[in-house]
Amino acid sequence: MIEVRIYSRSNCHLCDVALETLESFQGEFDFKIDKQLIDGKPELEEKYGESVPVILINNEPHDFFRVDPERFRSAISKL
């Protein structure tokens, strides 16, 4: 199964919008969403800090700040 991971922070509006966008694609494509909060996790905060939301597809970096629907659709349809 395809895994889409979203690194997020609490109370992050862009993160909420990105998650909603990803969820909207679940009817079209078969993938699992794994939401990971970076709050209080120094290693993740250092790595992703102000770039959240960060989107990975099958552990490969895909997007940050926003989910571009066409770019996401293109990437996921190739898997």
Domain ranges of the chain: 2-74
Burial track 14-27 (b if 16+ CB lie within 10 A, e otherwise): ebeebbebbeebee
Residue 67 is which amino acid? Answer: V
Q: What pLDDT sits at residue 42?
A: 97
How would residue 57 be classed by pLDDT, with cut points 50, 70 and 90? very high
How would residue 75 be classed by pLDDT, with cut points 50, 70 and 90? very high
How many Å apart are CA 35 and CA 27, to the nearest integer? 18
Q: Which CATH class is domain 2-74?
A: alpha beta
Burial track 35-48 (b if 16+ CB lie within 10 A, e otherwise): eeebeeeeebeeeb
Q: What pLDDT sits at residue 14?
A: 96
